[in-house]
């Protein structure tokens, strides 16, 4: 009986260890990891890294302008650092572009041949500006950068017309769009995969595999 009790305790401890190990197991960051789902559509980590990279570059520009060495650790508001804020900025940008892209497609918007050529030139400019090894570490291939530029261009094209439906005053229209953002997220069933997103470090972004 005493031996059986010891065995039960041993097995129980073993199960607890397995559960704890399973819970603490790190989620690997991969290029095709889903960061945001919108119904049947997803924003994968490699695409999201484009927006993270731009937010990082913008943050570094601010830091240089302000002459602050610890810019990322600076408090944006209570309990929110500049790193937290710029990371959220990147996430919101990606979601807004995706929503606007879906709206543009629904309304039959498309890019002209000239606009597509501009997208190609913009993609090439990015590839010239950002070191190849940095783009590779983010999972950003030449073709993906071009596809993202296409999405941004079509979204922006639609956005300009969409603002006119909100208000004739551009500033007021933009404020209304921002005010509608949360409702649009609900409408398009936006869900963030926190398990992946929390692992992204805007100060040193990279994809492990």
Task: Report the CATH number at residue 160.
Answer: 1.10.4030
> Does a structural domain hold residue 96?
yes
Count of domains forming the chain: 1
Quote the pLDDT of residue 68. 84
This prediction's pTM? 0.85
DSSP string, 96-107: HHHHHHHHHHHT
Residues of the chain with pLDDT under 70: 1-27, 208-209
Residue 189 falls inside a structural domain: yes
Is 207 part of any domain? Answer: no
To 10 degrees, what angle do helices 82-106 and 142-166 make? 80
Q: Is residue 203 included in any domain, yes or no?
A: no
Q: Is residue 205 part of a domain?
A: no
User: Closest by alpha carbon to 51, among 130, 192, 148?
Assistant: 148
- How much is the pLDDT for 1? 54
In tens, the pLDDT along 116-131 reads 999 999 999 999 999 9
pLDDT of amino acid 49: 98
Q: Map tokens 């559960």 to a residue.
A: 19
User: With 0-12 CB in 10 A as exposed, 13-18 as middle and 19+ as buried, what is 169?
Assistant: exposed
Full domain range(s) for residue 163? 2-197
In a domain, 99, yes or no: yes
**pLDDT the model gives residue 44:** 97
């Amino acid at each position: 009986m005493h031996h059986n009790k010891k065995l039960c305790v041993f097995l129980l401890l073993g199960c607890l260890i397995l559960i704890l190990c399973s819970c603490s197991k790190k989620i690997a960051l991969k290029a095709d990891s889903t960061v945001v789902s919108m119904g049947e559509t997803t924003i994968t980590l490699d695409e999201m890294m484009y927006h993270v990279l731009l937010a990082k570059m913008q943050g570094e520009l601010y830091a240089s302008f302000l002459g602050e060495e610890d810019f990322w650790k600076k408090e944006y508001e209570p309990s929110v650092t500049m790193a937290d804020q710029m990371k959220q900025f990147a996430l919101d940008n990606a979601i807004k572009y995706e929503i606007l892209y879906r709206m543009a497609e629904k309304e039959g918007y498309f890019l002209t041949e000239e606009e597509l050529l501009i997208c190609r030139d913009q993609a090439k400019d990015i590839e010239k500006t950002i070191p190849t090894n940095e783009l590779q570490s983010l999972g950003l291939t030449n073709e993906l950068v071009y596809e993202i530029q296409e999405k941004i261009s079509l979204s922006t094209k639609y956005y300009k017309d969409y603002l006119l439906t909100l208000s004739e005053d551009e500033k007021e229209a933009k404020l209304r769009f921002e005010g509608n953002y949360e409702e649009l997220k609900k409408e398009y069933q936006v869900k963030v995969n926190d398990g992946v997103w929390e692992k992204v470090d805007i100060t040193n972004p990279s994809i492990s595999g």
